[in-house]
Amino acid sequence: MAEETEKGPGDKGPKDKNDVSLEVATSNGVFRGTFDKNTKIEDVIAAIIKDRELAQGDAFELRYGDIVLQPVQRPLVSFGLAGTVKLTLVATGSGV
C-alpha cells in the first residue's frame, strides 16, 4: 500500500487559481469565458471573434481600461490579470 500525498505546484489545487474569467464587451454583445492564465492574448482574441461571429479578417485589440494588451504573444498572467476581469475588444481598422 503506497501512500501518495505529494503536492506539487499545479498538481492538485483549486482550478480557479490557474484560470482567468473574462467578460469582454464587443460590438456583438458580451463574451464570457474562462481561460488558463497562460493563454496568449492572440488566442483569447481568436476565441472571442469566433464566439461572437465577428469579421475574422479585421484587426482587433483587447483593452483593460485604457491599457492595450500588447504584444498579443504575451499570456494573460503577464498583464497581471487574475480572477474575473472586464475587458473590451476594439476593432482597430486596417489603415491606422
User: What CA–CA distance (Å, rounded) separates 62 from 44?
Assistant: 9
Residue 31 has pLDDT above 90, yes or no: yes
Q: Which three cell numbers stand for residue 69?
A: 494588451
Q: For residue 18, which amino acid is it?
A: N
Q: How confident is the model at residue 74 (pLDDT cuts 50, 70, 90)?
A: very high
Please report, rounded to a whole number, the percentage of residues in the chain having pLDDT higher than 70: 79
Q: How confident is the model at residue 79 (pLDDT cuts 50, 70, 90)?
A: very high
Residue 96 has pLDDT above 60, yes or no: no
Residues 15-91, CATH architecture = Roll (3.10)
In 1-96, alpha helices (H)? 41-51
Q: Are 30 and 57 in contact (CB under 8 A)?
A: no
Partners of 23 in the beta sheet? 32, 86
Q: Which three cell numbers stand for residue 95?
A: 489603415
Q: Which pLDDT score, from 0 to 100, does residue 56 have?
A: 80
Q: What's the whole-number mean pLDDT along residues 44-59? A: 92
Beta strands in the chain, from DSSP E residues, in sequence order: 19-26, 29-36, 60-64, 67-68, 83-91
